[in-house]
Amino acid sequence: MIYNRIALFRADRGVSRRDLADAVGVNPQTIGYLERGDYSPSLELAMKIAAYFGVAIEMLFSFNPFESVADTLRRNGEGG
C-alpha cells in the first residue's frame, strides 16, 4: 500500500479535488480514490501531484504511514 497526504496538502492550500484533478489531468474521482488509499498512483501521476504542490514526492507519498500532524507538532515542540 502507498500512503499519501494529498488531502492534507489540498486542505492546507485550499484546493478542491476538481482543481487538483484538472491540474494533473485526471478525473476528480481519481483524487478521491488516491486520498482514501483505494488506488495507487503511477509514478507519472505522483510526480505531477508533487510538482503541483511544489514539494518532493516523498512529502506526499510513502510506503509507511505518515505520522499524524498533531504528533509531528508535539515532537517538534510546536503543539499547544
pLDDT at 70 over 60: yes
Q: Cell 489531468 sits at which residue?
A: 25
Residue 68 has pLDDT above 90, yes or no: no
Domain assignments of the chain as residue spans, ordered by start = 3-75
Average of pLDDT values for 57-72? 86
Ramachandran region, residue 2 (left: φ > 0; alpha: ψ -120 to 50; beta: rest):
beta
Name the class of domain 3-75. mainly alpha
Q: Look at residue 78 in the predicted model and tell me its pLDDT.
A: 61
pLDDT for the residue numbered 51: 98
